[in-house]
Structure 1
Amino acid sequence: MKRYFIEVAYNGAAYAGFQIQQNANTIQAEVEKALLIYFRTSVPLTGSSRTDAGVHALQNFFHFDASFQIDINLIPKAIYHLNAILPNDIVVKSIKQTNSNAHARFDALYRSYQYNIHLTKNPFKDQTSFYYPFKLDIALLNQAAEVLKDYSDFQSFSKKNTQVFTYNCTLTKSVWATQLHDLVYNVQGNRFLRGMVRGLVGTMLKVGRGKYSLNEFKNIIESKSPTKTDFSTPSHGLFLKEVGYNDDIFL
């Protein structure tokens, strides 16, 4: 039995999320279906990072155990055929053999996300960016983003009914950047809670518009309550950008 990591990217608009669900189509369901067709045997997958309905990924991973042999020289051929089977909004980018105990979720060192906002109307960005035609103070947005790195408990930015043992996350990057008429929030951390990035973005936008002061923003974090957190930012602006691993888990 050998273990493999399969790297994927996808447009999440048509899916109910990353992880397999009953009575709903997901990224995992489509990839498992393609593997079944190609390898002619069921290949259960374990995901690295769950993304919600409508959220996209430039990079995400599954791992799977294969009772069958995958010739390393034929991996490019396997990738080609899997992509021919998969719908156009999902792509397999790589398949790599790993150590037998490597785990796509637990061995991830970090995840990084980006949230895209366009400030002027643009019909070509409606599936991958949030149209937000309001005046924003970028300096205030970045002050709020920097504040986040001083905290570890993000219960205020976790949606209710989330079954987790801890709300602690370590953020190593949190910054807003402008690109012509676009605004991008980049955040990197060891883990993220359900709805966390969208909650951070929505609440910081209120700081950028002057609806919350920086002190009020800090109070929301310290309250450990999501009652004043704004989760209304739409999913289509959010991308899982990268999942990082130590190179030594790959053979």
Structure 2
Amino acid sequence: MPRYKVSIEFNGTRYSGWQKQPNSNTVEEEIESALSRILTQPVDVIGQGRTDSGVHAEEQVAHFDFPEPLDRDRILYALLGVLPHDIAVWEMQQVSDDFHARFDATARRYRYQIIRRPAPLMRSMSELVLDELNFEAMRYCAQKIEGSHNFDSFTKPDNENPDSVCEVAESSFSESSYQLCYHIEANRFVRHMVRRLVGTMMEVGKGSRTVEEFNDMINNPSKNKNAHGAAAQGLILEKVRYEKS
């Protein structure tokens, strides 16, 4: 049966995350509903992973099977008219029938956006932080995140991901005008990891937590340690990498 890989951008403000769940509006559900309407039969969409309520994506990747060849341009155009304005499928391609959006992914990349002054055009996709921040201390913490670590201090119990070890290829901050962005790329992420890393680094920047405390959370991981989570609205899934992409 032909398999199709799709790339999806969405503003997660109105949604309870990616993954389907009872009595909640989710991105996965909207896409399945749209494809099923266009193709006039049920379609099961498999995402590369879930995003939390309020989190956004520039490139969420998913796949679905359909029993006959599909016209890429026709389907993409039809989706424009069926999907809500805050979700878009911007690419679709036929892939090998053993491709899996989740299990074949080799890395995921996120950024977290922080604005340093009121900015209405950025507000729904950024966290507003007016406090003075010690950028040097935050950059030091970001560097400590790179490499292979157990991130138990920055997650919560999760039966789907009982192992909290992740290999982080990049962890850094960038500044431009009134915006501060945190960038992180890793082979995998555990639940709430990025938001708790960012929130805890911001506490270090504000002086309410020390660099030494952050180091201890990295070097001596424990789910009993109290990481601080940043708001979901600032988090964006940028890219999902595959060996051939």
Q: TM bucket by the smaller chain?
A: over 0.9
Residue-by-residue CA offset, 1:186-215 (whole Å, 9 max, x unaligned): 000000111110000000011112222222
Distance, in Å, in 2 between the alignment partners of 1:62 and 1:106 is 11
The answer to whether the 8 Å contact 2:154/2:227 transfers is yes
Q: Which residue of 1 aligns with 2:231?
A: 234
* 1:150–1:8 Cα change, 3 Å: closer
User: What TM-score, normalized to structure 1?
Assistant: 0.93
User: How many residues are matched?
Assistant: 244
In structure 2, runs of 5+ residues without a counterpart are none
Q: 1:119 aligns with which of 111, 116, 119?
A: 116
What's the counterpart of residue 191 of structure 2?
A: 194
SS in 2 for 1:227: coil
SS in 2 for 1:29: helix
Q: Determine which structure has the larger strand proportion and give its number.
A: 2
Q: Name the SS for the 1:109 alignment partner.
A: strand
Amino acid at match of 2:227: T
Deviation, 1:63, is 0.8
Q: Equivalents in 1 of 2:18, 2:148: separation in Å?
A: 28
Indicate the SS of the match to 2:149: coil
Decide whether aligned partners of structure 1 residues 109 and 154 sit closer, same or farther in structure 2, where only a CA change above 3 A counts: same
TM-score, normalization: structure 2? 0.96
CA–CA distance in 2 between the matches of 1:68 and 1:86? 22
| Contact kept in structure 1, 2:151 and 2:221, CA below 8 Å | no
Secondary structure of 2:191's counterpart equals coil
Q: Give the conservation status (yes or no) of the 8 Å contact 2:150–2:221.
A: no
Residue of structure 2 in register with 1:9 after alignment: 9
* Conserved 8 A contact 1:2-1:66: yes
Query: What displacement does 1:140 show?
Result: 1.1
Residues 30 and 86, structure 1, Cα contact 8 Å, conserved in 2 = yes
Q: Is residue 2:214 matched to residue 1:205?
A: no
* SS class of match (1:127): helix
Q: How does 1:137-156 map to 2 (within 5 A)?
A: 137-156=134-153
Contact 1:34 1:85 in 2 (8 A): yes
Report whether the alignment pairs 1:158 with 2:132. no
CA distance in 1, matches of 2:30, 2:141: 38
Find the counterpart in structure 1 of residue 43 from structure 2: 43
